[in-house]
Amino acid sequence: MKSLLIRGARIVDPSQRIDRVSDLFVDEGRIRAIDEGLSPEGAEVVDARGLIAVPGLIDMHVHLREPGFEYKETIASGTAAAAAGGFAAVAAMANTDPPNDCAAVTEYILEKAHRAGGARVHPIGATTRRMEGKELSEMGEMVAAGAVAVSDDGLPVRDANVMRRAMEYATIFDIPVIEHCETPELHPGGVMNEGYWSTCLGLRGIPRASEEISVRRNVILAETTGARLHVAHLSTKGALEAVRQAKERGLPVTCEVTPHHLLLTDDSVRGYDTRAKMKPPLVTEEDLEALLEGLADGTVDAIATDHAPHHEDEKQQDFDHAPFGIVGLETSVSLGLDRLVRPGIISLNRWIELMSTGPARILGVEGGTLAVGAPADLTLLDPERPFRVEPSVFVSKGRSTPFADWELQGRAVRTIVSGRSVFTLP
Amino acid sequence: MTLASHHLLDIESLSPAEIELVLETSTSFKEVGERAIKKVPALRGKTVINLFFEPSTRTRVSFEIAAKRLSADSINVSSAGSSVVKGETLLDTVKNLEAMAPDVIVMRHPSSGAPHFVARRVESAVVNAGDGMHEHPTQALLDAFTILEAKGRLSGLKVVIVGDLLHSRVFRSNARLLTKMGSSVTVTAPRTLLPPFVERLGVEVITAVNDAIVDADVVMMLRVQKERMEGAFFPSVREYFNLYALTVDRLKRAKQDVILMHPGPLNRGLEIESAVADGPYSLILDQVTNGVAVRMAILYLLAGAS
Ligand SMILES: [Zn+2]
């Protein structure tokens, strides 16, 4: 493979506290040097003046839908969408059909991802067999095959005893248990946040207590078991407070938030727009502000999209019947650069930590750093490049996003995995 | 004057002037129902489809009579006989109906917002005949018409709404209409049947029915929708009756000339005492009569007033 010289980029790497303009040299799929005035012979030179080079971004929560739901997304289309969105790696949730609850499925996913040649895929195994919440899955075998975490995401593990055992068992492999925190008993038929708007629209509500109760239970179990708990798509002020308290007590608890929960509230459901139907539901201004605070003060460990592609026809239904979920891979970077970094809610350095270093650390995978010797996964960002969200040209098969037609500034222009460009913006 | 929208989807988007227009138009159509030959040619040659995804004999018949009195051709499609049960999506159903070019689609659906979904995708006028727990605008308009007949005004009245507010589209439409027209609305129900932030709709909440009902000009009962009580919203029918049902005794706390309304069908002995339902204050049957006139007005304003 040809070596690569990234010339003149602003290099920002929170893992090494680097933020300076320099050259970066990549050879044999690994980062070899960061220095000024590099001119190795035979290297392909990328003129990156005016661009920002950062550790390859990692979306630690995506649904690739294969096997089983290839009409919604495939591993090939999903990893291509990830690359186009600036992600060098994604972690794929287990709720496929069959679910990823055994080594055979884990291997299948990795094989497909390898052949697709887009972003790297880190498979997440199911916490329980068939994701039924009853018996533990074969975690050891899946980890040996390449799984990096376990989660029944899409569903919470409802039985506290099963969750306790799963956490205890996961400590053998030192993998995080990623939990979709929800208490479904609280909201039969719930489709949006329970609040003023659910009352106005006559839609069944999901109270914020649903998430908070579950987060608190799981924090207690994390303390009981010593397991690493990662709270997926955390959305409410109360749940964030629970994580903050857990961290203060030194528990190994981490959490992620999604761009949509950082930027939208439940009034987006007005007009019964199914593009605003997601789980957890969009909540209130108060929650949104708490989440932004959590981004800034370090309580939040990662931004993940919960990329959940659905077929267009499925979303074109009345609100009650449309499925939960929106796509996120191709909007996350521009939303972050334009709506979080540009207005100064968080620094660029902090954002990269949330988008790369943080997820790598939680998942325990390589990446998230531009350290010499590390795999050459990196993303080049153009902070000035305008980006209009146009779902019709998405690489993902999913098209449903509440950010359609948003005008943003800043986007990924090149995504490099193991020294190979998997996406280059023309 | 005409209505600003081509559809009638909710009270929320109607102005007070539009509400008055509907009520005035209803007055002239009520007279048609009192003639020996109850028919006018206003919508001759027009087609009205009654698309009911949820059974409701009362509302469907009311719309059907309204259409026939206006000389429109009306066709009933109910979900039991429709292709919905064969797995056809709402969008497919609607596209097929649209291909037959109806002028008005009257739609009842168990999901909130379903008529809005349809209205965005068809040329026909869409009338919401009740969507989930959202709105039932024609019911609120016929209730307003009935109040207006009895009281001569819609402003400055104390209206008390009692019962299952949480699941009630009738409540949501009435609360919007009556506050818009300048009346005060007090609601009373067990805490479990109050929607969150209900006071933000501009209503006063008093959980004790005996206190709420004092000096009421209008008492509006809501049906306790037993079929929606999938959770434990109240401990027993007996306790609900004891705490919230409208009894002759309780009604004495209201004004002397109070009127009593109910959108039907009644659960006698659960939410209302028969002596009240059939008593002198009850306008329950007037509501049914007025329903036809108000629906004629709406069909006329949407399909015939051009
Ligand atoms: Zn989830």
Residue B228 has pLDDT above 70, yes or no: no
| Cβ–Cβ below 8 Å for B116 and A271 | yes
Q: Give the mean pLDDT of A36-48.
A: 90
Residue B83 has pLDDT above 60, yes or no: no
pLDDT tier for residue B87 given thresholds of 50, 70 and 90 = low
Q: Give the mean pLDDT of B181-189.
A: 97
Taking CA atoms, B68 is separated from A174, B24, B195, in Å, by 73, 20, 38
Nearest-by-CA chain B residue for A319: B113
pLDDT at B177: 98
CA distance A306 to A41: 42
Cα A307 to middle of ligand 1, angstroms: 10
A19-38 per-position pLDDT tens digit: 999 999 999 999 999 999 88
Residue A4 three-state SS: strand
The verdict on pTM exceeding 0.90 is yes
Surrounding ion ligand 1 within 5 Å at CB are A 153, 180
- Strand A229-231 and strand B204-205: the pairing is unpaired
Helix, strand and coil content of chain A, in percent to the nearest 5, comes to: 35, 25, 40
Say whether the peptide bond before residue B115 is cis (omega within 30 degrees of 0). Answer: no
Residue B265 has pLDDT above 90, yes or no: no
| Cβ–Cβ below 8 Å for A203 and B133 | yes
Cα A124 to middle of ligand 1, angstroms: 13
CA distance B256 to B212: 16
Whether residue A313 lies within 8 A of chain B, CB to CB, comes out as: yes
pLDDT tier for residue A39 given thresholds of 50, 70 and 90 = confident
Residue A421 has pLDDT above 60, yes or no: yes
CA distance A84 to A412: 8
pLDDT at B170: 97
CB A68 within 8 A of CB A96: yes
Active site residues of B: 58-59, 86, 108, 136
Cα A279 to middle of ligand 1, angstroms: 7
Nearest-by-CA chain B residue for A206: B196
pLDDT at B90: 85
Q: What is the mean pLDDT of chain B?
A: 91
Question: What's the alpha-carbon Rg for chain B, to the nearest Å?
Answer: 19
pLDDT at B82: 52
Q: Give the mean pLDDT of B119-132.
A: 95
CB B198 within 8 A of CB B166: no
Taking CA atoms, A36 is separated from A9, A39, A48, A53, in Å, by 10, 9, 13, 14
Alpha carbon B172 to its chain's center? 9
Cross-chain CB nearest to B112 (options A188, A202, A316): A202
Q: Give the mean pLDDT of B282-289.
A: 95
Q: Give the mean pLDDT of B104-120.
A: 95
Q: Which residues make beta-bridge pairs with A404?
A: none
Write out the two tokens for A381.
């960002």
pLDDT at B89: 80
CB A55 within 8 A of CB A86: no
pLDDT tier for residue B80 given thresholds of 50, 70 and 90 = low
pLDDT at B269: 83
CA distance A186 to B44: 51
Q: ipTM score here? A: 0.91
A52-75 per-position pLDDT tens digit: 999 999 999 999 999 999 999 999
Residues of B in contact with A319 (CB under 8 A): 111-113, 117
pLDDT at A140: 97
pLDDT tier for residue B231 given thresholds of 50, 70 and 90 = low
